[in-house]
Amino acid sequence: MGMERCERLYVGGAWKLPETPTEAIPLVSPATEEIIGSVASGSASDVNSAVAAARAAFPTFSSTSPAERAQLLKQILDLMEERAEELAQAICREMGSAIGFARASQVPFGIAHVRAAIDVLEDYAFIRKQGTTAIAKEAIGVCGLITPWNWPLYQITAKVAPALAAGCTFLLKPSELSPLSAHLFAQIMHDAGTPPGVFNMVTGRGEDVGAAIASHPDIDMISITGSTRAGILVAQAAAPTVKRVTQELGGKSPNIILNDADFARVIPLGVAAAFRNVGQSCSAPTRMLVPADRLDEVAELAAATAQAMIVGNPSDDATDLGPVANRNQFAKVQEMIGVGIAEGAKLICGGLGKPEGLSAGYFVKLTIFSEVRPDMRIAQEEIFGPVLCIIPYADEDEAIRIANDTVYGLGSHVQSSDLDRARRIAGKIRAGQVHINYPAWDGFAAFGGYKQSGNGREYGVFGMDEYLETKAILGYFPE
């Protein structure tokens, strides 16, 4: 595989070099630590050009019919399905996703957001009658979409599809750490016949491109998925222009295992959920809350599950989990494993360093701590790697208290053989999503956070609503 040069930006319907000549950002393979490509480093002037193109395209595009926008989304959907393997290979190379996982989850879930937007458009009422008043839903305007590296395609389509469905025009800033899938997606947008200026993409660093987007006076809305720190910076930069800011940020999601659950089934599934995407999911259930009197049984089941997982070359079909996505993430995960050991949590598998036989690449040992106290840093801070904390609780009330004892509130899980009991506990958890007994993923279920996990919601109709303004027209329906 040769060097992959992603050194052009997509602005106004064409691929262009950055306006200010700057050195491209190197793309490092997380599996080998070798440079495998480069990505254009855009600047504020590129953002200005992209916003101008989006602003110019907005009057025409926002007045298209829902059927026309659905047709464009169908073209995008068809091309994504046609190029699914190419997208999966790109995600494997750029952020180390195991190829099997890229094919089974990363790409299909990304495609599902486009399909969901088409379905939502079919029966969405852009004008609703309320007595003699019309409640109109209108595209908010030009949007800045900022996406992360951990689910690169999935996060792009979770924003692009509903923004397009709503009739907005937009500028995408994908993570400079996962540019390959973003460039393939931009080409799909082009090949699908997206009108010039509707979709623009400027790659670069957050402090350059992200900051310029957040503060831009001609951008009406920002949607960012990223760390809580990044979300705060964007909101602060956006405040002087009073634009809408929706944020999907960090998480430290609990998984409450009730004493009536089938432990032999739910503990292995809980470990798999926490380690999915090598733990690099904001909603990963990385705090497993278990009855104190069954702590040893849980630890044994959890360790056996982790030890059966294959960590290795992400392009190998047999691999369950590849490396973490980049050097900074590897360093952070190692630091937090060290913190857990220093805090006195009981290490039941994994630990510091790389797995045996994997000297190159950002590979991490699958690590599980037991006897974790809720006040430990490893129980409070988002680690974003394959590190699971098993926390004992005395009774149901304490389990709920521990579950809510966090600055975050994104995902959560409850396992019980008593559905009424699980539903009652789900009602007491302060989080944007609760999963009862590991249900199937639902691309129409509102996704977003309480507390420092963010503002606003994504997916399905809830995602599209964020890109719409509400206008009341009184006297629209006379008596």
pLDDT digits (tens, 9 = 90+) for 406-460: 999 999 999 999 999 999 999 999 999 999 999 999 999 999 999 999 999 999 9
207 and 295 part of one domain: no
Let me know if residue 478 belongs to a domain. Answer: no
% residues pLDDT > 70 (the chain): 100
342 and 459 part of one domain: no
351 and 390 part of one domain: yes
User: In this structure, what CATH number is given to the domain that contains residue 391?
Assistant: 3.40.309.10
211 and 348 part of one domain: no
Let me know if residue 238 belongs to a domain. Answer: yes
Let me know if residue 288 belongs to a domain. Answer: yes
pLDDT of residue 161: 98
b/e code 361-380 from CB counts within 10 Å (16+ = b)? bbbbbbbbbbbbebebebbe
Split at pLDDT 50, 70, 90, the class of 164 is: very high
% residues pLDDT > 90 (the chain): 99
Number of domains in the chain: 2
What span, in angstroms and rounded, lies between the C-alpha atoms of 162 and 74? 13
Let me know if residue 479 belongs to a domain. Answer: no
Antiparallel, parallel or unpaired: β 199-201 and 169-173: parallel
- pTM for this model (two decimals): 0.97
Q: What is the pLDDT of residues 272-311, one digit of tens each?
A: 999 999 999 999 999 999 999 999 999 999 999 999 999 9
459 and 368 part of one domain: no
Antiparallel, parallel or unpaired: β 244-248 and 454-455: antiparallel
Biggest CA pair distance of the chain: 78
Q: Three-state SS for 391?
A: strand
237 and 268 part of one domain: no
Q: What is the pLDDT of residues 245-280, one digit of tens each?
A: 999 999 999 999 999 999 999 999 999 999 999 999
| φ, ψ of residue 199 in degrees (nearest 5) | -115, 125
What span, in angstroms and rounded, lies between the C-alpha atoms of 135 and 127? 6
What span, in angstroms and rounded, lies between the C-alpha atoms of 144 and 54? 10
53-to-66, 87, 295, 310, 440 alpha-carbon distances in Å: 22, 27, 58, 47, 40
**Active site residue: 92, 143, 282, 349, which one?**
282
Let me know if residue 402 belongs to a domain. Answer: yes
Q: Facing residues of 9 across strands?
A: 16
Q: What is the pLDDT of residues 312-367, one digit of tens each?
A: 999 999 999 999 999 999 999 999 999 999 999 999 999 999 999 999 999 999 99
**Active site residue: 7, 248, 382, 458, which one?**
248
From the list 383, 390, 440, 439, the residue with the least C-alpha distance to 408 is 383
Both tokens of 412, joined, read 């959560």
210 and 274 part of one domain: no
CA 250 to chain CA centroid, Å, is 10
439 and 331 part of one domain: yes
What span, in angstroms and rounded, lies between the C-alpha atoms of 167 and 188? 19
Amino acid, res. 59 = P
Q: Where are the beta strands (DSSP E) in 25-140?
A: 25-28, 35-39, 127-130, 133-139
200 and 313 part of one domain: no
What span, in angstroms and rounded, lies between the C-alpha atoms of 430 and 411? 9
Q: Three-state SS for 120?
A: helix
Q: For the chain, state the CA radius of gyration.
A: 23
Q: DSSP character for 376?
A: S
pLDDT of residue 464: 98
Residue 1, pLDDT above cutoff 70: no
Instruction: Report the chain's mean pLDDT, rounded to a whole number.
Output: 97
- Work out the average pLDDT over 42-65: 98
Split at pLDDT 50, 70, 90, the class of 2 is: confident
Antiparallel, parallel or unpaired: β 387-393 and 346-349: unpaired
* Residue found under tokens 């996060």: 155
Let me know if residue 146 belongs to a domain. Answer: yes
Q: Are 324 and 370 in contact (CB under 8 A)?
A: no
177 and 259 part of one domain: no
What span, in angstroms and rounded, lies between the C-alpha atoms of 283 and 276? 10
Q: Are 146 and 210 in contact (CB under 8 A)?
A: yes
pLDDT of residue 479: 85
* Residue found under tokens 């190692």: 334
Let me know if residue 448 belongs to a domain. Answer: no
154 and 56 part of one domain: yes
What span, in angstroms and rounded, lies between the C-alpha atoms of 369 and 391? 9
H or E segment and range at residue 69: helix 66-82
Residue 213, pLDDT above cutoff 90: yes
What span, in angstroms and rounded, lies between the C-alpha atoms of 49 and 111? 29
How many helices (H) and strands (E) are present in the chain, helices listed first? 16, 21
What span, in angstroms and rounded, lies between the C-alpha atoms of 143 and 132? 32
Residue 173, pLDDT above cutoff 80: yes
Q: Is 6 a catalytic residue?
A: no
Q: DSSP character for 382?
A: -
Q: Is 248 a catalytic residue?
A: yes
280 and 230 part of one domain: no
Domain extent at residue 154 = 4-249+454-473
User: In this structure, what CATH number is given to the domain that contains residue 41?
Assistant: 3.40.605.10
Would you mind telling me the total number of residues written for the chain in this entry? 479
